[in-house]
């Protein structure tokens, strides 16, 4: 679609039109952090270590099925609490996105080469 077309401009003004979006009221009502049901660490919405929602919102957030299998590869120095990759594992637990850590620069180069070869 041409980004300058009237259709595209209208879509930019109403990006969520036609989507069914659940209320965020459950999340808005949370006051502070809670303990993870598995590891007990203090978390806000979900545990980025265990990949589970906190008890207060468990069963109240949507679960989805990913259209493809996903492997998430993180750099060893990437901070878990700042990474958005854990969201896939929390929202699509049945698809079991695997999270792998890069342990070395050599491994990072190998992954870059594998990605280049697959395209």
What's the CA gap between 110 and 51, in Å, rounded?
Answer: 27
Residue keyed to tokens 């969520």: 16
Q: How many other CB atoms are there within 10 angstroms of residue 97's CB atom?
A: 19
Q: What is the mean pLDDT of residues 70-91?
A: 80
Supply the DSSP symbol for 98. E
Residue keyed to tokens 């270590």: 49
Looking at residue 105, what is its pLDDT?
A: 55
Looking at residue 67, what is its pLDDT?
A: 83
- What are the structural domain ranges in the chain? 30-118
Question: For 27-69, what is each residue's pLDDT tens digit?
Answer: 899 999 999 999 999 999 999 888 899 999 998 888 888 888 7
Looking at residue 23, what is its pLDDT?
A: 85
């Amino acid at each position: 679609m041409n980004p300058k077309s009237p259709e595209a401009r209208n879509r930019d003004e109403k990006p969520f039109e036609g989507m069914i979006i659940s209320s965020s009221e459950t999340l808005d009502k949370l006051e502070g952090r809670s303990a993870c049901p598995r590891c007990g660490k203090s978390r806000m919405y979900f545990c980025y270590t265990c990949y589970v929602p906190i008890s207060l919102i468990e069963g109240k957030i949507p679960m989805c099925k990913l259209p493809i299998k996903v492997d998430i590869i993180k750099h060893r120095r990437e901070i878990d609490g700042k990474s958005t990759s854990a969201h896939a594992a929390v929202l699509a637990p049945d698809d079991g996105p695997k999270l792998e850590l890069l342990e070395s620069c050599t491994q990072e180069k190998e992954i870059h080469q594998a990605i280049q070869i697959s395209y």
